[in-house]
């Protein structure tokens, strides 16, 4: 299940799940290109880890995504896999949303993955193989209160994974990971406004999760590493649920 020596792009690579992926992939010997809009954090992470390159990238901008792919090829000569983690979130019902919310969430969460696929597919076809792992969410399958636009964007990705699998067979293997409650800055942001302290909220949620803990970014990173490895070569066009068993009885 090794990804040692593989060239892996990680978008959203400076925070939460994305940062966890960058750290884990680098630790197990992959050649990592971290992409993010957080310039200072990205440069600091690359300096800290050593075997990581940072490329400033707004995935909602097609030209920047193309530059990320071209830049990675210039650095390493190939791309073995991409772990797409860049994501945006806004809370609210449909009656609360403004066009700017739509542009942000759909631009990053959906259009960003379309752009990545657009420029990865020709590279993978020329190489003969490549893996595209998209981080979606259990929000694609659960109607979280005041999360309409976010849930819709994640559901779109679940469909995209199936379409990419049928449109690019034989050389582009596309898989999704659907995390549940993962201890990230985005999760903390969803708890803003609650009267109870964050630690108390997390303890209460953990007791309702069948595995009795919140997920950590490294949990997602390890699953992604497996999906990108040659041992997962028969896994395609599907979503791996990584939610501690909560789909049976969501704790939210």
Residues that are catalytic: 150
Residue 38 CB neighbours (<10 A): 18
Question: Rounded to whole angstroms, how far apart are CA atoms 232 and 216?
Answer: 22
Question: Rounded to whole angstroms, how far apart are CA atoms 234 and 230?
Answer: 9
- Residue pair 125/75 in contact (Cβ under 8 Å)? The answer is no
Residues in contact with 214: Cβ distance below 8 Å, sequence separation at least 6, in sequence order: 181, 182, 183, 187, 202, 205, 206, 244
Question: Rounded to whole angstroms, how far apart are CA atoms 207 and 204?
Answer: 5
């Amino acid at each position: 299940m090794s990804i040692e020596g593989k060239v892996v792009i990680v978008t959203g690579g400076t925070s939460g799940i994305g940062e966890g992926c960058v750290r884990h992939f680098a630790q197990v010997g992959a050649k990592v290109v971290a992409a993010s809009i957080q310039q200072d954090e990205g440069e600091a992470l690359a300096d800290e880890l050593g075997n990581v390159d940072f490329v400033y990238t707004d995935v909602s901008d097609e030209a920047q995504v193309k530059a990320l792919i071209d830049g990675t090829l210039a650095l390493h000569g190939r791309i073995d896999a991409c772990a797409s983690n860049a994501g945006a979130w806004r809370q609210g019902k449909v009656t609360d949303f403004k066009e700017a919310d739509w542009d942000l969430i759909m631009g990053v969460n959906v259009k960003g993955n379309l752009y990545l696929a657009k420029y990865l597919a020709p590279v993978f076809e020329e190489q003969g193989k490549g893996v595209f792992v998209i981080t979606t969410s259990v929000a694609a399958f659960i109607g979280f209160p005041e999360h309409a636009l976010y849930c819709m964007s994640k559901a779109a990705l679940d469909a995209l994974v199936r379409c990419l699998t049928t449109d690019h067979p034989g050389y582009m293997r596309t898989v999704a990971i659907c995390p549940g409650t993962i201890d990230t800055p985005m999760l903390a942001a969803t708890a803003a406004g609650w009267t109870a302290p964050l630690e108390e909220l997390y303890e209460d949620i953990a007791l309702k999760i069948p595995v009795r803990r919140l997920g950590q970014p490294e949990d997602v990173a390890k699953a992604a590493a497996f999906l990108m490895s040659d041992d997962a070569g028969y896994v395609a066009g599907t979503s791996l649920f990584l939610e501690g068993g909560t789909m049976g009885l969501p704790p939210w």
